[in-house]
Structure 1
Amino acid sequence: MGITVQNITGSTAMVIWPKMASCVDSFYSVMYHPNWNSMLSSYSRKSFQKEERVPTTQSSFVVENLAPLTTYIVCVTCQSANPSSDQCRVFNTLEQDPASASNTKKDLALGIWLTSSVLLLIIAAILLYGCLHLLCRRRRERLQGQNGTSEQDHGMAWTKSVACTSEELGRQSQLMQDTEEKHPGGIQLATIIENPSVCKEPVMTKVRNECQRQDSALL
């Protein structure tokens, strides 16, 4: 069949074959396997590790991701046919070229950097969430403390108001008792002093009339 392998490197090789007039299928099968030995003498399709499908309009294919310094067997057949010996070639890959090794190292470094960046972002997100949660909890505790203080101040103010009211009532009661002792007939005057709102007339007029009645009684 005249299959040839060209441009062999440590990881790639170009396979070239003549067009098959007898192949009426829609694509060619390019099969290859590393570490070829006599166990592949039957050339069964199941014995090959890799298989690529190439349109029948092409007559070449670049095999990639090969291992350096390795013996490979490659076969090209029609879509579903098993390969024969004249449809296969054996070739050896070269040492890994410096450019490929450099690219591999770059890819490895890039992968490590991406992984580290993702881990750092995850750690930063966890720390940020923890800080925000702690701040919210402290703010909530501060607001609760302020509300408790306000309620306590309100209670103290109400207690003081009650105490002042009681003291004022006691003072008025004492004043009324003193007025009764000094003026037996002055109950109405004490009542007027204690609750002036019940009077429809001015307070001074009431006091003047009461004094006049007491003077007339004495005369």
Structure 2
Amino acid sequence: MGITVQNITGNTAMVIWPKMASCTDSFYSVMYHPNWNSMLSSYSRNSFQNEERVPASRSSFVVENLTPLTTYLVCVTCQSANPSGDQCRVFNTLERDPASTSSTKKELALGIWLTSSILLFIIAAILLYSCLHLLCRRRRERLQGRNGTSKQDHGKAWTNSMAYAFEEFGRQSQPMEDTEEKHPSGIQLATIIKNPSTCKEPNMLTSKSQEQVPAAGQSSAIN
């Protein structure tokens, strides 16, 4: 059949085959297996570890995920028929690709970087939350302290104002007592105002005495 294997690396290989007239309306089966020495000489399809179906319009296929430094047997048949000796080829994979090794290292480094970044972000978030909680707590304590001092100041101001009011009241009451002592007649005036009947009686007495006085004068004149 003339199968060839090209572009062999540590993980991939390109298998090329000539087109078959019997597979124009069907597909090709690309079968490959490592350590072909352990396989039976009959090349049974069931003995192959991997099998890929390729459209009939194609005549090549890239086999992937191979093991480096390994001997492989690859066979190409029409549809799912058992392969014959002229439809198979043996090839050996190379060492691990430097590009794949570097890509693996890059992927590993990227994974480590992502993991460390996530851990650092979590630690930073925890520290930020702790700092904010501590600041809020201190601010609350300061506000409570200020409220307590303001209440104390308010109480002191109220007591001072009450003391000042009592002192002013005492100062105003002292002149009134002095005037009462200097003018004792004020008490009599107060009693007179409270008892107006006492004021009327002397007036009535004086009027009666005035009436009696002219009468006495008249009687003396007549005599």
TM-score when scaled to structure 2?
0.65
Where do residues 94-133 of structure 1 align in structure 2 (5 Å cutoff)? 94-133=94-133
Give the CA deviation at 1:68.
Answer: 0.8
Q: Does 1:84 align with 2:86?
A: no
Higher Cα Rg, which structure:
2
Q: CA RMSD in A?
A: 3.1
The number of equivalent residue pairs is 183
Letter in 2 for 1:43: R
CA contact (8 A) 2:76 2:83 kept: no
2:44 is aligned to 42
Q: Which residue identity is paired with 2:67?
A: A
Match of 2:13 in 1: 13
Q: Distance in 2 between matches of 1:103 and 1:22?
A: 42
CA displacement, residues 52-76 of structure 1 (integer Å, 9 cap, x when unaligned): 4544332212223322112334344
CA distance in 2, matches of 1:142, 1:99: 63
Q: CA deviation at 1:78?
A: 5.7
The code of the aligned residue for 1:118 comes to: I
SS of 1:44's partner is helix
Task: Output aligned runs, 1:186-205, within 5 Å.
Answer: 186=186
With over 3 angstroms needed to count, the CA separation of the structure-2 counterparts of 1:152 and 1:126, relative to structure 1, is: same
**Contact residue 44 and residue 82 of structure 1 kept, 8 A:** no
Pick the structure with more helix per residue. 2
Compared with structure 1, are the counterparts of its residues 185 and 101 closer, same or farther at alpha carbon in structure 2 (3 Å cutoff)?
Answer: same
Paired with 2:134 and 2:28, the residues of 1 have a C-alpha distance of 66
Residue type of the partner of 1:137? R
Residue-by-residue CA offset, 1:156-211 (whole Å, 9 max, x unaligned): 21121122222222333344333323323447xxxxxxxxxxxxxxxxxxxxxxxx
Q: Secondary structure at the match of 2:67?
A: coil
**3-state SS, counterpart of residue 19 of structure 1:** coil
Q: Distance in 1 between matches of 2:81 and 2:141?
A: 79
SS in 2 for 1:8: coil
User: Alpha-carbon deviation of 1:14?
Assistant: 0.7
Instruction: Give 1:66's aligned residue.
Output: 66
* Deviation (angstroms), 1:28: 4.5
Q: 1:91 and 1:21 mapped to 2: Cα distance?
A: 26
How many angstroms does 1:13 deviate by? 0.7
Is the 2:29–2:76 contact (alpha carbons within 8 Å) kept by the matching residues of 1? yes
Distance change (3 Å), C-alpha of 1:52 and 1:151: farther
Identity percentage over the alignment?
A: 77
Q: State how far apart, in whole Å, the 2-side matches of 1:142 and 1:53 are.
A: 77
1:3-31 Cα offsets, whole Å, 9 max, x none, are 32212111111111233433334x54544
TM-score normalised by structure 1 residue count: 0.66
Contact 1:75–1:83 (CA<8 Å) still a contact in 2? no
Between 1:165-174 and 1:31-40, the stretch displaced more is 31-40
TM-aligned CA distance change 1:173 to 1:53, over 3 Å: farther
Contact 1:2 1:18 in 2 (8 A): yes
Name the CA shift for 1:144/1:43 in 2 (closer, same or farther; >3 Å).
same
**Residues 5, 13 of structure 1: 8 Å contact kept:** yes
